[in-house]
Amino acid sequence: MSVLVRRPALGLLVGVPILLVILGTLDALRESGVVGLPVVPWQTLWGLPLDRWIRDVAASLTVGFLILGGLLLGRPIPKLLGAASLSALVWLASVLAMVPLTISELLGRPLSDSFDPAIISSLLLTDLGKVLVAQIGLVALVAALGWAVVGRITGVIVLALAAAAAMLPALTGHSGLGGGHTSASISLALHLAAVGVWVGGLVAVCRYLLTNPPDANVAIRRFSVLALGAVLVLAESGLLNASLRMDGFASLITSPYGALILAKGTVLGALIVLGWRQRKRAVPLLVSGQATGRSIVLRLAAFEILLMGVALGLSVALSRTAPPAGAIAGDRITAAALGLLALGVPLVIVWAGGRPARLQRWTSAYPEPFAVALLVTAVVLADVVPTGFLGVGFAAILASAVLVLVGWLFAMAAIGPRGVPAVIIVMVLWPAALWWAQRSEPTETVWQLLLAVVVAEVCLVLLLVVRRSLLAKAAPPDVVPAASVEVSA
Ligand code: HEM
Domains of the chain: which residue ranges?
2-319, 335-488
- Residue of the nearest CA to atom 14 in ligand 1? 319
- Supply the CATH classification number for the domain 2-319: 1.20.1630
Which residue minimizes the CA distance to atom 34 of ligand 1?
A: 315
Residue 99 CB neighbour total at 10 angstroms: 20
pLDDT in single tens digits along all 489 residues of the chain: 688 999 999 999 999 999 999 999 999 999 887 777 788 999 999 999 999 999 999 999 999 999 999 999 989 999 999 999 999 999 999 999 999 999 999 999 899 989 999 999 999 899 899 999 999 999 999 999 988 888 889 999 999 999 999 999 998 866 665 555 788 899 999 999 999 999 999 999 999 999 999 999 999 999 999 999 999 999 999 999 999 999 889 999 999 999 999 999 999 999 999 999 999 988 888 888 887 889 999 999 999 999 999 999 999 999 999 999 888 877 889 999 999 999 999 999 999 999 999 999 999 999 999 999 999 999 998 876 666 667 888 889 999 999 999 999 999 999 999 999 999 999 999 999 998 888 877 789 999 999 999 999 999 999 999 999 999 988 776 554 544 444 443
| Residues contacting ligand 1 via CB (< 6 Å) | 52, 56, 169, 173-175, 188, 191, 195, 199, 234-235, 238-239, 241-242, 245, 261, 264-265, 267-268, 308, 311-312, 315-316, 318-319, 323
Q: Is 246 helix (H, G, I), strand (E, B) or coil?
A: coil
Q: pTM for this one?
A: 0.93
Closest to 300 in 3D by CA, of 330, 329, 279: 279
* Top mutation candidate among 191, 274, 321 for ligand 1, by most atoms within 8 Å of CB: 191
By alpha-carbon position, which residue is closest to atom 8 of ligand 1? 238
- Distance (Å, rounded) from C-alpha 432 to C-alpha 453? 10
For residues 69 and 63, is the Cβ–Cβ distance under 8 A? no
Radius of gyration of the chain from its Cα atoms, rounded to whole angstroms: 24
Alpha carbon nearest to ligand 1 atom 19, residue: 315
Q: Which residue out of 53, 192, 264, 304 has the highest number of ligand 1 atoms within 8 Å of its CB and is therefore the one to mutate? A: 264
